[in-house]
Chain A
Amino acid sequence: MLRLLNKRFYCKFATKTKVRPEKLNFKQLTHPTKVPQTPVKAAFPNTSANEIELDPKSIQLLERLALVDLDSERALETLKSSIQFADKITHIQTDNVRPLYTVLEQQQLQLRNDLVTEGDCRGKVLSNAKVTDEDYFVSPPGNIPLEQ
C-alpha cells in the first residue's frame, strides 16, 4: 500500500513541472455574483418579413456600381436577408445624434507638407501589373458600357 502511494506521488512530481498549491474551484464563489445568471433579452423587431424592393432595374444598377454580378438565387437571398438584418436598427431613436465617422474626431487629422518625399520607384509601382507597355499600365478600350 505504501509502495503504491509512493509510486503515485512519484508520478505526480515527474509529470508536472509546477505543483499548483490549489486548483481554482469554478463552482465556488465567495461573494454574491454581479454577473447576470440569465440572459438579458434584447428587444429588436422581427424584420425577416420586411418587403425588400429589388426590381430588375435596381439589381442592374447595383451590379454596375459594384462591378460584381448577383449571379444566383442564393446571392439574391443573402442580399435580401442582409438588408432585413440591417432593418433591425431603424426604430432606434437617433434624433439630434451626430454620425460618428471616426473615433478620432477629437484629434485633428494630420496633414503633411505638400512636398515630394519619395520617388524614383517606377519599377516598384509597375511590378505587380499583369500587362504593361513601356512605362504604362495597359487597359482595354474604355467608354464602353458594361454588357448586362
Chain B
Amino acid sequence: MRRHLQWNIKQLTASYAEGQLSPRRLTELALEDAKNLKTLNAFVRLTPEKALQAAEDSLKRYQNKKPKGTLDGVTIAIKDNFCTEGIPTTCASKMLQDFVPPYDATVCSRLKKAGAVLLGKTNMDQFAMGAGTVDSLYGPTKNIWSEELDGDRWRIAGGSSGGSASAVAAGICYAAIGSDTGGSTRNPASYCGVVGLKPTYGLLSRHGLIPLVNSMDVPGIFARSISDCVDVLNTVAGPDTFDSTTIRKPYKNLTLPEIDQINLSTVRIGIPKEYHCEGLSPEVLETWSKVADLLECAGASVRQVSLPNTAASIFVYSILNQCEVASNMARYDGIEYGHRASDERSTEQLYAQSRAEGFNEVVKTRILTGNFFLLRKNYDHYFEKALRVRRLIAEDFLKVFVASQEDDRVDILLTPTTLTDAPLYKDFAGLTNRDQCAVQDFCTQPANMAGIPAVSIPIRLSQSGLPLSLQLMSNSLNEQLLLTVARWIEAQVEFDSLQHRLNLQSTL
C-alpha cells in the first residue's frame, strides 16, 4: 500500500520539505505504477528520463530549502493534445503520429516553471472528438473501476480526456491536464471518480493546445480533491500574451476557506429542471436529490430554475463543433508537419491523400459535415442560426445568475455530470460517435456554450460499484464560490477516489 497516495498535494510537498519522501522516489514509484497498470492504457507515452531529471532537480531544491512553490516535485500527466517541447504530441491520431513540437503549451511551461514533474502524455479520442476515449490510434482507455479489466466486460473511462482521468484515478499522478470543449474533462472525471474542472473560458491559456473548437476549448484540470485542483489552477491560470483570448484581468490566486468556515446560508443553489432529461439513471437522480437536500439542510437556499434553451444546446453544439472542426482541420496538409502521403502528382492530390490516410472516419465526417454547413447557401441557415441559438443558451445562464430581481438569482447550479455510471465498452462501442456524444454531453456542453466554469465531483458508488458524480456551474470567473461549495460537498460525501485499488490488487 502506497500511503503517500492518500495524501493531498500540500501533504506531499510537506513530506518533501521534511525529507520523509523524496520527489525522486515518488517519481520512480509513479513510473513503476504506470507500467504495472499498462492494461488501463492511460498513457500513450511515458517520459521517464525527463521526469526523473525533473524530480532530481526538485529534490535538490528541497535539499537547499528552496522549493519553487506548491507543485514542486508533484507528478502530473498531460493530455496528448498539449504541445510539449521535444516530446511527440499526437492527438492520438495518425496525422500527428510523428509530430514533435518545438515549444511547450503555456499550461505545460507554467507547470514546469513551478517545478512539477511531468510523467508523460495521456490517451484521448482522436483530436478530442469523442466522449469515451475509444477512438484513439493507440486503442481505448479502460476505467480502473471496471468489474474486470480483461475480456469485454470492462468499463470505458469516458472522454475525450480519458487517459488523464484514468491516470489520476489510478493514483499514478496527483493531477492531470485535459481539455474540455463539450465536457471532455468533466465526463471522464465523472466516470473515473475524480474531480474535473472546466474553468471559465479564457482563464487558462490555450496556447499550444491543439485546437478543436476555438470558441469553446479550455484546458481542464483533474485531481483527487478540490484542494489539489485549486493548487494546479493557481499555477496555470492567468493572462498569456501568446493567447489573445485569455481574460486580461490579472488572476488572483484562489484560497478556499476551511470546511468548518464555509457558510452556506448566503449561498443560493439552483436546480435547472431541464437537466432531468430522458435517460437519466435513477441512481444519478437519487444522488442529485440527496446532495440538493444536504445543501438545503446546511442552510443554503435551494430552488428549481429553468434554462429553457438547454435542450437545444446539443444540436447547436453539434453544428458549431463541425463547422470549427472543418476550419481547424484545414491546417493538416502534410507539407509543414503531420502525415505526408506518397502521392506526389499534384499539391491538391497530396493534400487529399495525406488527409485520407491521416484522419479517422469520425474526423473526416465532421470535416465534411462542417463544410456542408458552411457552404454559401447553408451558412445562414445552419452556422449563423446555431450562433443565434447559442446566444439564447448563454442568456439563459445570465438570467439565473444576474437576474434583475435579487430574489430570482442563484449563485450555483447543481446538475448531474453524466446520465449514468460508466458504460460497458461493448455497449458504448455499438453507438455512433454522434449518439455517444449527444447522450453523454447533454449536461456538460451548455457550460461551454456560455463559457462559464463547471466542476464535476464524485459523490458515491453505484450498485455496480462505479462512481456517480454531480456537476456544479457558476457565473464566469466565480471559481472561488464554485470550488468552495464543491469542497463542502466533498467533505460531506467523503468519496474515496482510490478505493478501487484494494479491489484491483488481485487482478494486477
Q: Which of A13-53 contact B (CB under 8 A)?
A: 17-18, 20, 24, 26-27, 29-31, 33-42, 44
Measured CA separation A75–B359 after assembly (Å): 14
Contact between A101 and B387, CB atoms less than 8 A apart: yes
Least CB distance from A146 to B in Å reads: 4
**Option from A29, A33, A38, A129 in Cβ contact (under 8 Å) with B337:** A129
Interface residues of B in 353-398 (CB under 8 A from A): 355-356, 359, 361, 364-365, 367-373, 375, 381-382, 384-392, 394
Question: In the assembly, what is the distance between CA of A37 and CA of B292, in Å?
Answer: 13
In the complex, what residue of chain B is closest to A127 when comparing beta carbons?
A: B102
B352 interfacial contact with A, CB 8 Å: yes
Asked if A86 CB lies within 8 Å of chain B CBs, one says yes
Contact of B451 among A104, A109, A121, A127 (CB under 8 A): A104
- Whether B245 pairs with A104 at a CB distance below 8 angstroms is yes
Partner of B392, one of A70, A79, A94, A102: A94
The bracket for how many chain B residues form the interface is 35 or more
Q: A35–B288 Cα gap in the complex (Å)?
A: 7
Rounded to whole Å, the gap between the CB of A140 and the closest CB of chain B is 4
Contact of A57 with B by CB under 8 A:
no
Kindly list chain A residues whose C-beta atoms are within 8 Å of the C-beta of B297. 30-31
Given contacts A34-B292, A38-B276, A103-B451, contact A129 B241 (CB under 8 A): no
Do A130 and B315 form a contact, CB below 8 Å, given A79-B372, A110-B244? Answer: no
Bound-state Cα–Cα, A40 to B344, Å: 56
Say yes or no: is B37 at the interface (Cβ < 8 Å to chain A).
no
Looking at the assembled complex, report how far the CB atom of A102 sits from the nearest CB atom of chain B, in whole angstroms: 6
Q: Mark B243-260, 1 if CB is under 8 A from A, else 0.
A: 011111000000000000
Knowing A97-B388, A100-B387, say if A128 contacts B352 (CB, 8 Å). no
Report if A81-B381 is in contact (Cβ < 8 Å); known contacts: A36-B276, A75-B364, A146-B352: no
Taking a contact as CB atoms under 8 Å apart, the answer to whether B364 and A89 are in contact is no
How far is the CB of A104 from the nearest CB of chain B, in Å? 6
Cβ of B385 and Cβ of A81 under 8 Å apart?
no
Contacts of A38 in B (CB 8 A): 276
Contacts of A44 in B (CB 8 A): 311-312, 315
- Interface check B432, CB cutoff 8 A: yes
The residue from B202, B364, B372 contacting A83, defined by CB atoms under 8 A apart = B372
**Any A CB within 8 A of the CB of B289:** yes
Cβ of B241: which chain A residues have Cβ within 8 Å of it?
Answer: 110, 112
Binary flags per residue of A60-90, CB closer than 8 Å to B gives 1, else 0: 0111011111110001001101110110111
Contact among B99, B330, B349, B372 for A62, CB-based, below 8 A: B372
Per-residue 0/1 for B60-97: is the Cβ within 8 Å of any A Cβ (1 yes, 0 no)?
Answer: 00000000000000000000000000000000000000
* Majority secondary structure of chain A interface residues (helix, strand, loop or mixed): loop
Residue of A nearest to B338 (CB): A128
The contact of A130 among B309, B326, B340, by CB within 8 Å, is: B340
Q: Does B110 make an interface contact (CB < 8 A)?
A: no
Residue of A nearest to B297 (CB): A30
Bits for B284-320, please: 1 = Cβ < 8 Å to A, else 0.
0111111011101100001110000101100110110
Q: Say yes or no for B450: interface residue by CB 8 A criterion.
A: yes
Which A residues lie within 8 Å of B375 (CB)? 61-62, 65
Q: Is the CB of A31 within 8 A of B276?
A: no
Q: Does B174 contact A (CB under 8 A)?
A: no
CB distance from A46 to the nearest CB of B (A): 13
The CB with the most chain A CB atoms within 10 A, among B245, B246, B381, is that of: B245
B113 at the A interface (CB under 8 A): no
Q: Are B289 and A85 in contact (CB under 8 A)?
A: no
Q: Does the CB pair B285–A37 fall under 8 Å?
A: yes
Please state if B460 and A42 are interface contacts (CB–CB under 8 Å).
Answer: no
Verify B381–A68 contact, CB threshold 8 A. no
Say whether A135 faces chain B, with CB atoms less than 8 Å apart.
Answer: no
Q: Which residue of A lies closest to B316 (CB)?
A: A89
Interface pair A40/B335, CB less than 8 Å apart: no
Chain A 101-147 interface residues, beta-carbon cutoff 8 Å to B: 101-104, 107, 109-112, 121, 124-125, 127-131, 137-142, 144-147
What's the Cα separation between A142 and B57 when bound, in Å? 51
With beta carbons under 8 angstroms apart, the residue of B100, B271, B330, B387 that contacts A35 is: B271
Contact B276 A78 (CB under 8 A): no
> If A30-B297, A69-B356, A140-B349 touch, does A85 touch B315 (CB 8 Å cutoff)?
yes
Asked if A100 and B390 sit within 8 Å, CB to CB, the answer is yes
Partner of A75, one of B311, B345, B361, B372: B361
Docked pose: A65 CA to B329 CA in angstroms: 12
Residues of B within 8 A of A100 (CB): 387-388, 390-391, 394
Q: Can you list 24 residue pairs at the A/B interface with Cβ under 8 Å?
A: A18-B494, A34-B271, A34-B302, A40-B277, A62-B368, A67-B330, A68-B356, A71-B356, A75-B361, A78-B365, A85-B315, A85-B318, A89-B386, A90-B381, A92-B389, A97-B392, A99-B388, A101-B387, A102-B245, A103-B202, A104-B201, A124-B103, A127-B100, A147-B349
Give chain B's interface residues, CB within 8 Å of chain A: 6, 98-100, 102-103, 201-202, 215, 241, 244-248, 271, 273-274, 276-278, 280, 285-290, 292-294, 296-297, 302-304, 309, 311-312, 315-316, 318-319, 322, 326, 330, 333-338, 340, 344-352, 355-356, 359, 361, 364-365, 367-373, 375, 381-382, 384-392, 394, 432, 434, 438, 450-451, 460, 476, 492-494
Interface residues of A (CB under 8 A from B): 17-18, 20, 24, 26-27, 29-31, 33-42, 44, 61-63, 65-71, 75, 78-79, 81-83, 85-86, 88-90, 92, 94, 97-104, 107, 109-112, 121, 124-125, 127-131, 137-142, 144-147
Counting from the closest, the 9 A-B pairs by CB-CB distance are: A103-B451, A99-B387, A42-B311, A128-B337, A144-B346, A124-B102, A94-B388, A100-B391, A130-B340
Given contact pairs A26-B286, A68-B368, A69-B352, a sample of 15 additional A-B residue pairs in the complex whose CB atoms are under 8 Å apart: A26-B287, A27-B286, A44-B311, A63-B368, A68-B352, A69-B356, A78-B365, A82-B365, A85-B438, A103-B201, A103-B215, A103-B476, A107-B247, A140-B345, A140-B350
